[in-house]
Amino acid sequence: MEYKLQYFGAILLTVFITSCKAQHSSVVKENAKLVQVSNEYSFTEGPASDKFGNVYFTDQPNDKIIKWDAANNSLSIFKEPAGRANGLYFDHNNKLLAAADENNELWRIDTNGNIDTLITTFDGKKLNGPNDIWVDLSGGIYFTDPYYQREYWSRTSADIKEKNVYYISPDMKQVSIVAEGLTQPNGIIGTPDGKILYVADIGDKNTYSFSIQDDGKLKNRKLFTDMGSDGMTIDNQGNIYLTGDGVTIFNKNGKQIHHIAVDEKWTANVTFGGKNQDILFITAMGSIYTLKMNVNGVRY
């Protein structure tokens, strides 16, 4: 009986190890290593991939938007000054949307760096400070608006006391609150089919899912996981990537399936880049990292 139990236990152990390896390799490419591309920045944030797989990210303290060229792994300055940009996202016309924190605005930037300011106030009040952005299938824009006091602001309190999630209609003519009652909404990402929006409330250390309606409004708020996040992303299997202590990956059911350790005090954001959208691009403190993946990012 003892022999049978030991044998059975050995089988279970083997299955467990094999399962863990399979789980890991199903997300991260086998033998892939986290690569530090650069550590020359002050605080990196807001990575966003264009249609060619190049990734743009911000160095907010130094007021820059930097471009990582996916073809040759090189870095160059795209825009400086950059409105103290934080979160970034590309719209369907390959224009870069930026949460321009300096004057609490949302920008749309063309390939030549020309700026179109989309919004700076709501109901006559200055926004708290747009933070992260996601664009839906119709071209409507969701953005989170927490409040983080900045040393470069003259004001010391928010005009809008609530920390909301807003939606700009595809024609850019209407702005509405679509999620409220949040402590400090931060990361935001939607599913490829445009049906679910995830919002990380870093203030209460939870991440929620919402059902997206045809008019862009949100319903059916549900707790996705009891972990908050700074920035976040999604892959083509529907897995959600949360940041803070490295990168923690959850499947669409809210079960943790993997953790990517990053040797930094804080991991701020994450996205997919590269020609095939199979490179995980991570911003953490003053550094940027890449990791080869077996899953792909989502590009419309």
**Residuewise pLDDT in 10s, the chain (300 residues):** 433 334 334 433 433 333 333 344 489 999 999 999 999 999 999 999 999 999 999 999 999 999 999 999 999 999 999 999 999 999 999 999 999 999 999 999 999 999 999 999 999 999 999 999 999 999 999 999 999 999 999 999 999 999 999 999 999 999 999 999 999 999 999 999 999 999 999 999 999 999 999 999 999 999 999 999 999 999 999 999 999 999 999 999 999 999 999 999 999 999 999 999 999 999 999 999 999 999 999 976
From 227, 236, 282, select the one nearest 260 (Cα to Cα): 282
| Residues 39 and 287 sit within 8 Å (Cβ to Cβ) | yes
| Residues 297 and 271 sit within 8 Å (Cβ to Cβ) | yes
Instruction: Say which residue the tokens 């909301």 belong to.
Output: 164
| Residues 221 and 179 sit within 8 Å (Cβ to Cβ) | yes
C-beta atoms surrounding 9 within 10 Å:
10
| Residues 69 and 77 sit within 8 Å (Cβ to Cβ) | no
Count Cβ atoms within 10 A of the Cβ of residue 56 and give its class: 0-12 exposed, 13-18 middle, 19 or more buried.
buried
Residue 190 corresponds to which tokens in the numbers above?
A: 């939607």
Helical (H) or strand (E) element with 2: helix 2-27
Residue 107 one-letter amino acid: W
Please give the CATH architecture assigned to the domain spanning 33-292. 6 Propeller (2.120)
Per-residue confidence (pLDDT) for residue 299, from 0 to 100:
75
Cα 266 to its chain centre, rounded Å, is 14
| Residues 102 and 80 sit within 8 Å (Cβ to Cβ) | no
SS3 annotation, 164-196: EEEEECCCCCCEEEEEEEECCEEEEEECCCCCE
Distance CA 186, CA 202 (A): 6
How would you list the strands of the sheet with 185-190, edge to edge?
185-190, 196-201, 206-212, 218-225
From 266, 259, 264, select the one nearest 280 (Cα to Cα): 259
Residue 75 corresponds to which tokens in the numbers above?
A: 């870095």
Instruction: Say which residue the tokens 């934080």 belong to.
Output: 86
| Residues 244 and 228 sit within 8 Å (Cβ to Cβ) | yes
